[in-house]
């Protein structure tokens, strides 16, 4: 188990145009998760998230739920090297 982990996450489904990035950013702020979220050209959303593994598991569960007006069909993640950046950003 890593002390502080960073995950690259790809979320597919109805996740663009439904407030999904703002939903993720709010969850990240609440859980003190660092990283970013952005829309991808294929209609999916990319997230990089860094925190303890326990917190990231909670974050992933929230991301799987998504906002009520969206729909998550698939969520995949892999562990990547940690980053020294702080905060969480929504990228275009």
Active-site residue, selected from the candidate residues 4, 39, 61, 92: 39
Q: In angstroms, how far is CA 6 from the centroid of its own chain?
A: 10
**Residue 29 CB contacts under 8 Å (≥ 6 apart), including other chains:** 88
| Rounded Cα–Cα distance for residues 45 and 64 (Å) | 12
| Rounded Cα–Cα distance for residues 58 and 54 (Å) | 7
39 is catalytic: yes
Token duo for residue 1: 């188990």
71 is catalytic: no
Q: Pick from 87, 90, 91: which is nearest to 32 by CA?
A: 87
Active-site residue, selected from the candidate residues 4, 21, 30, 61: 21
Residues acting as catalytic residues: 21, 39
């Amino acid at each position: 188990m890593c002390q502080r982990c960073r995950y690259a996450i790809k979320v597919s489904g109805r996740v663009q145009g439904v407030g999904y990035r703002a939903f993720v950013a709010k969850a990240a702020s609440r859980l003190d998760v660092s990283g970013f979220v952005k829309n991808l050209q294929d209609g999916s959303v990319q997230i990089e998230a860094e925190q303890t593994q326990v917190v990231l598991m909670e974050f992933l569960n929230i991301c799987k739920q998504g906002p009520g007006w969206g729909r998550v069909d698939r969520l995949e993640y892999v562990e990547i090297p940690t980053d020294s950046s702080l905060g969480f950003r929504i990228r275009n």
